[in-house]
Amino acid sequence: MRKKLYLLCGLNSERKLIVDLLAILFGIGSWLGINSVYVQLPLLVGNAPEGWNLPSYLVVIIQLGNIGPILYTAALRIKSFRDSYLIVALLVLGSCAAMTTAFVYDQTVHVFGAERSVPLFITVFGLSLVGCTSSVLFMPYMGRFKGIYLITYLIGEGFSGFVPSIVALIQGVGGNGECIAVNGTDPNEPPQYTSYTPPPRFGTRPYFIVSSVILAISMVAFVLLDRLAVCRREYAAVSIGNGNNYAYEPSTPNDEETRSAAGDAATTTKGKVSLDRTNYLLMMVLISVMCLFGNGFFPSIQSYSCLPYGNVAYHLTVTLSSMANPAACFLAFFVQRNSIRSIVALSVVFVPFAAYALTTAMTSPDPPLMHNVLGDILVVACWTLLVGLVSYIRLAITTLLRCEGGQTLVWVGVASQLGSLVGSILSFTLVNFTDTFQQYYPC
What pLDDT is attached to residue 336?
Answer: 57
Q: How far apart are CA 287 and CA 211, in angstroms?
A: 28
**Which of 67, 77, 176 lies closest to 125, judged by CA?**
67
Domain ranges of the chain: 11-185+192-247, 276-442
Mean confidence (pLDDT) of the chain: 81
* pLDDT tens-digit series, residues 339-375: 888 889 999 999 999 999 999 999 988 899 888 899 9
Is the per-residue pLDDT at 268 higher than 50? no
What pLDDT is attached to residue 1?
Answer: 46
The confidence band for 239, taking pLDDT boundaries of 50, 70 and 90, is low
Is the per-residue pLDDT at 245 higher than 60? no
DSSP letters, 94-128, are HHHHHHHHHHHTT--EEETTEEE-HHHHHHHHHHH
* pLDDT tens-digit series, residues 115-125: 899 999 999 99
Q: How far apart are CA 125 and CA 93, in angstroms?
A: 11
Do domains 11-185+192-247 and 276-442 share one topology? The answer is yes
What pLDDT is attached to residue 192?
Answer: 67
- The fold of 276-442 is Growth Hormone; Chain: A; (1.20.1250)
* pLDDT tens-digit series, residues 389-411: 998 898 888 878 866 665 777 78
What pLDDT is attached to residue 411?
Answer: 82
What pLDDT is attached to residue 76?
Answer: 76
The confidence band for 241, taking pLDDT boundaries of 50, 70 and 90, is low
Is the per-residue pLDDT at 195 higher than 70? no
Average pLDDT, stretch 217-226?
94
Q: Could you tell me the CA-to-CA distances from 42 to 46, 262, 305 in Å, in that order? A: 7, 41, 13
> Which CATH superfamily hosts domain 11-185+192-247?
MFS general substrate transporter like domains (1.20.1250.20)
What pLDDT is attached to residue 25?
Answer: 94
Buried b (16+ CB within 10 A) or exposed e, 280-308: bebbbebbbbbbbbbbbbbbbbbbbbbbb
Is the per-residue pLDDT at 111 higher than 90? no
Is the per-residue pLDDT at 32 higher than 60? yes
What pLDDT is attached to residue 234?
Answer: 80
* pLDDT tens-digit series, residues 301-331: 988 999 889 888 888 898 888 888 777 767 7
Secondary structure element (H or E) that encloses residue 434, with its range? none
Whether the ω angle into residue 365 lies within 30 degrees of 0, i.e. cis, is yes
Is the per-residue pLDDT at 264 higher than 70? no
Q: Could you tell me the CA-to-CA distances from 14 to 5, 233, 260 in Å, in that order? A: 14, 11, 17
